[in-house]
Chain A
Amino acid sequence: MSKKDKPTEEQSVRYEDLIDDLESIVDQIESGEIGLEESIKGYEKGMELVKQARAILDRAEQRIVELNTDQIADSED
């Protein structure tokens, strides 16, 4: 089959990073150490992260790529 050139854009955002960011935003807002305006900004960003994370989880179709080691090796040469 074909080899994949680059990870897609969606993959470039790691789910773990999304969750980490989301968690730290929630922590920050919960701590009450940041101001209202900052909190609202954080909230908006957090909601966006939730959306992205859901989008990743909800992707129903499993993608399977077959990689040919020789091709990779050749292309590297």
Chain B
Amino acid sequence: MRRNDQKLLLVIAFTVAALAVAASGVSFKPVQIPLALLLVLVLPGYALQAAMLPGRGTSSVTHAVLTVGLSLTVSVLGGFVLNLTSVGLRAGSWSVFLGAVTLGASGVALWRGRSSDRPRFEWSEPSFGARQAVLMALATVLVAAAFGIANQGAARPTSSVTELWILPGAPPNTARIGVISEETAVVTYRLQLEAGGRTVREWPEIQLAPGQAWQTETAVPAASSSGGPVTATLYRLDQSNQPYRHVIWWRDGRSG
């Protein structure tokens, strides 16, 4: 068996593996992600160029450009094809489409390869020496360190945010009220609900850690009896008695 045929058989094997993973519905990312990347970004282009340009010697670089370029092209145009189907652009339809293109093109390439005795790809792979490999590994480690630093910096909270919200509840004369804390530390709040100028309910202590949310649904007096809007005011217990957040709900408005 010729070297080019071996590579095409490898393409077929990876495609079948990717299709099997997609069909099984297995969600094991370390396998799913590399196979998906291959199926979308590499395999269709490799197979297509083997089918469309047999007998043309190409260098590694041209070969790589054709592989990636054609793979991207197949997915760009494949979206329009799948859009015509009732299923649309879903995991199943994508795997069938990309699998069909890759396997079909591989078959054509194998057939055309047998009918021609000319060489197809001349795959020259420049390789690294030991010192060069160490340097490339060092570069990779440095880039990984750069990402570690950047991620850490971006993930660090830059501001203290608390959201207070109010919406009509499902039953009549009820309100849904919520607090979302994105503060940098645990914060204890006091929440006061008023209608018609008088306090109808109070939550004296709501303690939330960063990223935590609190939500409740509570009855409020009928609009006709209280008049005016329902208001909720949030206070931070560690700060002065100044309102921290304030929301207003007019029941003749149309929220929700």
Tell whether A pairs with B.
no
Query: Which residues in B have some Cβ–Cβ distance to A below 8 Å?
Result: none
